[in-house]
Amino acid sequence: MTVTNNFSTPLQLPLSKEELGRINDYLRPLTPEEILQWAVDHIPSLYQTTAFGLTGLVAIDMLSKITSSPPPLIFLDTLYHFPETYELVEEVKKRYGVPALVYKPSGCETVADFERKYGEKFWETNEDAYDFAVKVEPARRAYVELGVKAVITGRRASQGADRANLQPLEVDATGLLKLNPLFAWNFHLVEWYIKENNVPRNKLLDQGYRSVGDWHSTVKSGEGDGGERAGRWAGKADKTECGLHVDYFKMKAAAEKQATHDKQPDVPADVVVPQIVQTNA
């Protein structure tokens, strides 16, 4: 069956399950550049959420060659990134001239602010609530304030775990579209592109790290250890996601429940849940 690109411009949202399937049938055989070009042409209110990992950097570089007005970047500053990560953010902004919108935990500008609110080493006392506070709630706040309808992600099927059956375009529980332009690429292709195009990368990757997150949950990985995300959440074999790609409503409910139990303001009372029509996609 031949699938043609006769999609509305812009797409009419929310997407039905059938329309989402038709779009994925069309996108699946395309190159990442072609997927990104289609997205720029068809998807309204498109942004890119990025922690400046390798795949996200590849997408940033590709977009810079596709359009003079690439989707703005959303960077979730957990306040616990490595100094090298913050250096990379500035380098990318300077190199590509793309807007980078920074969102931090609610009511917190510094680590001191965060620890006054949640206590020291909050990731050790309640890891899920920590993920919600530093990633999930700031992301949801960004999407509401900016009117985001879709985000470009750096997820790939070759990363395994929950990503093994990744599709080019997905719809999450809130109705947010998630575009995964490099869904079919493996790590070697990503590395090849980075080197061939002289794309900026985190300096820690040359110091024994394979994947870089918060400094307190990222360690160097020995030769042959795990996969490309080895060293993230060391000693926690069941943990493969930080919460951004987990059901938002479940994360929020769990964080609220824990906040009530602990009598701590883990979840700000003014968190807004957008009224987005859900589909069966």
The CB-side HSE value for 41 (13 A sphere, CA atoms) comes to 11
Cis (ω within 30 of 0) for the bond into 10? yes
Which is the catalytic residue, given 57, 58, 242, 267?
A: 242
Q: Taking a C-beta distance cutoff of 8 angstroms, is the pair 229, 99 a contact? A: no
| Residue 169, φ and ψ in degrees, nearest 5 | -130, 130
| Known active-site residue 108 | no
Element (H, E) at 73: strand 73-76
Nearest CA among 138, 133, 127, 140 for reference residue 232: 127
Nearest CA among 248, 238, 48, 215 for reference residue 135: 248
Tokens of 113: 């602010």
Provide the greatest CA pair distance for the chain: 59
- List residues bridging with 35 in a β-sheet: none
Q: List, in order, residues 6 or more apart from 39 with CB less than 8 Å away.
A: 46, 150, 152, 179, 181
> Which residues carry out catalysis?
242
